[in-house]
Amino acid sequence: MEHLTKIKLGAKVSVSYLSPETQNEFINLLGQQVRSTIIRRIQKAKYYCVIFDSTPDISHNDQMSQVLRYVHIEGEKDAVVESFIAFFEPKGKNAEDLSNDITAKHQTDWTYRMAGL
């Protein structure tokens, strides 16, 4: 609202627009940073589990979500934390396909973790 008022009063306003590519790059960088923080916390955690859940989206395509649950201990305080990690589209709906998707995702995460990211 303040921006519109300045324009109406004739104030000089500098405009800066980010291209969609720049916006996506920025979002990806932020996502990598959040993911790195979560992975560092899990590396320190004594207990953690990996949760996968599949549900159809609005266009009736299955979406698999990956959530990590872990015990975060800081000083004398501890908490069970759930962190969303990713969405991906499973390749199939039967047990073998889902199992292969989860295994592939876990291997990718393990590689990511071992790279120290």
Instruction: Evaluate whether residue 104 is within a structural domain.
Output: yes
Q: What is the DSSP letter of 93?
A: S
pLDDT band at 110 (very low <50, low <70, confident <90, very high): low
How far apart are the C-alpha atoms of 14 and 78, rounded to whole Å?
Answer: 47
Q: 6 in a domain, yes or no?
A: no
Q: Quick check: is 7 in a domain?
A: no
Domain annotation covers residue 85: yes
Residue given tokens 């560092």 in the structure block: 40
Sequence length of the chain is 117
Angstrom distance (rounded) from CA 85 to CA 7:
42
Residue that wins the pLDDT comparison between 2 and 22: 22
In the chain, the percentage of residues whose pLDDT exceeds 90 is 12
23: pLDDT strictly greater than 90: no
Structural domain count of the chain? 1
- Mean pLDDT for 33-47 is 87
pTM of the model: 0.64
Q: What is the domain range of residue 97?
A: 12-114
